[in-house]
Amino acid sequence: MIDTLIGLVSQYSPSGEERGAAEWLVLRMKSLGYDDAFVDKAGNAVGVLGMGSKQVVLLGHIDTVSGEIPVTLTPNPSSERRGELLYGRGSVDAKGSLASFVDAVANVGAKDGWQFVVIGAVEEERDSEGARFVTTQYKPDFAIIGEPNQWDRVALGYKGSAWANITIKKGQAHTASGDETAAEAAIETWLKIKAQVDSFNADKPKVFDKLLLTLRGMESDSTDFEQWARLKVGVRLPVDVPPEAWYEILNATLKGSETFRVLIEPIGFAIPAWGCEKNTSLVRAFLSGIRSQGGEPRFVYKTGTADLNIVAPVWKCPAVVYGPGDSALDHTPNEHIGLEDYRKSVEVLSAALTKLTSTPI
């Protein structure tokens, strides 16, 4: 059962360099009996099993952050957990999830009236180009997104995100004048934003419902006639604050000054948050699958952003996020996954897919 996992993790594939891993996974899915497997126009690895009209898409991502980690198997030092640990970049985020999708679908096999589509998407760690492409290629009845949340947990929501460069400009002045500099005004600007966010969060006990603000860069310079300072500001968004509302908050907070100008420039892709419906046959299938392996199911809502945020608003079908591994190890130099946890996740998925495809929609 671990050959898919080890083989996929052994294919180093940072964002932008996924082709070798995608081709390897296509060959692996063909060897496991998939009806079709190919690399699509976006570079995603796609495997199809079954010919039915009802469709389940299992969307993982095949890219990783950069920083290759030697792929090694070591004994698990914990006396409470059996099996070995697999070290390697992507073992947790998120090739463990993608490999478990591939193995579980192969275990379940073709189901009358159903089609399984497993996708290893590219560019998730950057701008989710792979997920953006597949939104127009499929219209599933159910979607399962692969991210690490441990084998006995199901994630039902991911926060959105938005980024902006905030530039403060003002006329040049003598250094002895005592006038506020653009750099000093930038600090005040940051404190205004932070105060507004703190006020918004004050009555919200759950992290998933809060604005999570971050300052990721500062720079300043001047010309003969003007001085400027720039802040790179990011925020993780709750479901009830779409990106456009966040930019309105910024504009309202920073509007107007007699001594300097403030320019707010959105950058990158702004992504709304997404919360999944809990009372669905898909969720119930996962709860049953986790219990079948002796687990006590738990729901989680994550502060990060995933391909769920890209596809769910388009597909508008029941969705969950599932996958083995400890997300605290994402992007770290000692990224690793327990093989016993991986095995359980494959069994959970197999049981969930079997139950789901045996129940009328």
Q: What is the pLDDT of residue 256?
A: 67
- Residue found under tokens 């699509």: 40
Task: Locate 159 and state its tokens.
Answer: 């926060």
Asked if 36 is an active-site residue, the reply is no
pTM above 0.75, yes or no: yes
Which is the catalytic residue, given 18, 123, 124, 125?
Answer: 124
Both ends of the chain: CA-CA distance in Å? 30
- Using a 10 angstrom Cβ sphere, with 0-12 exposed, 13-18 middle and 19 or more buried, the burial of residue 345 is buried
Which is the catalytic residue, given 18, 63, 141, 307?
Answer: 63
Task: Locate 53 and state its tokens.
Answer: 């009209």
Distance CA 296, CA 322 (A): 15
Q: What is the pLDDT of residue 82?
A: 58
In sequence order, the β-bridge partners of residue 237 are 160
| Span 13-32, pLDDT tens digits | 999 999 999 999 999 999 99
| Span 183-229, pLDDT tens digits | 999 999 999 999 999 999 999 999 999 999 999 999 999 887 899 99
- Splitting the chain (361 residues) into consecutive groups of 10 residues, what average pLDDT does each group show? 95 98 98 98 98 97 97 78 86 98 98 97 96 98 97 98 95 71 93 97 97 96 90 97 97 80 93 97 98 97 95 98 97 96 98 92 57
Fill in the DSSP letter of residue 91.
T
User: Which domains does the chain show, CATH number per domain?
Assistant: 3-158+273-356 (3.40.630.10), 160-271 (3.30.70.360)
* Residues ≥6 apart with Cβ < 8 Å to 75: 84, 85
Question: Alpha-carbon torsion 148, 154, 159, 161, what sign?
Answer: positive
Neighbours of 168 (CB within 10 A): 27
Asked if 179 is an active-site residue, the reply is no
